[in-house]
Copies of this chain bind each other. A is one copy, B any other.
Amino acid sequence: MKDVAQEAGVALGTVSKVFNNLPVGESYRLRVEEAARRLGYQVNSYARGLKTNKTYTAALILPDITPPFFASLAQYVCQALAARNYKLILALTASDPDAEQRCIQMVQQNKADGIIGLTYNPELEVDPRLPYVSIDRKFNPGTPCVSSDNFGGGQLAAEKLLELGCKRLLFLRIGSQVPGESDKRGDGFESCCRQKQVEYAVLRKDDREGVESFRAFLEEHMENGRLAFDGIFCATDALACRIVRMLAEMGVRVPEDVQLIGFDGTRHFAFGDFHCSTIIQPVNRLAETCVDLLLQEDRSNLPSLVCLPVSYASGGTTKE
């Protein structure tokens, strides 16, 4: 730094300010940066991390990055961090509780400044001094959780199906047994049906049962070549796609005989079209909110749950 100060003809303190991103006159900043370039000076952020106790690194823990919702979440978290000069460490756990705990330990050992985690381990132990933001799962009031407005999304799906003329509604869900915010999709759906005094049925399955386990239920509810339901809300777009195909195999027409709404807002990789009518999660805002909460300096007054607004989009499996 002394060499840079001499080369730039400025005080050592000025160089230090520029290197540490503290306010300094623009002309000074330019002179220091120019001198640093001439001398081939490279800031050692790593060593600086030890001194300032900041690494400008945040970790994102996901089960898997190949499902489109997770891929776009990672994309936006990476961009939101980059805009704040933070780097992203990506850790994938395949939803394994032990792997999740190991990830957190690894991240703590590497002194990341914080963690954004979408995890399935209800007993996850996180150092309370480490900033942590949870996606879709509440741990305790001190750990902020960010999710879409799942309850509101479930209500919206039921309302939309009724608006489109459906009379007998069905909710289908397959997923993890660990309780999470996304369970509220069904709660919101049921709440709306009860309030409007509409006939409805609900079928919740565990991941291990597999999507094929819905087939028997659907077949049992066929009467004279027609399904006993004319509106189906599926907890995810992936499930909705599978059910659409199952119905086609059973000779049920979508959306003529049965209308379907999924949840996520997944788009076809080549066209950008929706795969099905859907409740769209605001992935960009989810990511921004996670990063904002993670990097917030004052951690004494964080919300325990932030729900972001969802919206409906038609994607061919409803009449509108």
Interface residues of A (CB under 8 A from B): 42-47, 49-50, 55-57, 64-68, 71-72, 74-75, 78-79, 82, 87-92, 105-106, 108-111, 237-239, 241-242, 245, 266, 268-271, 275
Report 14 cross-chain contacts, Cβ distance below 8 Å, ordered by A residue. Answer: A42-B105, A46-B109, A57-B89, A57-B110, A64-B75, A74-B74, A78-B91, A82-B92, A87-B106, A87-B110, A238-B270, A241-B270, A242-B270, A245-B271
B108 pairs with A92, CB closer than 8 A: no
A154 shortest CB reach to chain B, Å? 20
Taken together as a complex, chains A and B put the C-alpha atoms of A66 and B106 apart, in Å, by 26
**Assembly of this chain: how many copies?**
2
Nearest CB in chain B to that of A94: its residue? B79
Taken together as a complex, chains A and B put the C-alpha atoms of A105 and B45 apart, in Å, by 11
A303 shortest CB reach to chain B, Å? 27
B46 pairs with A65, CB closer than 8 A: no
Residues of B within 8 A of A56 (CB): 110
A200 shortest CB reach to chain B, Å? 24
A90 pairs with B78, CB closer than 8 A: yes
Residues of B within 8 A of A268 (CB): 241
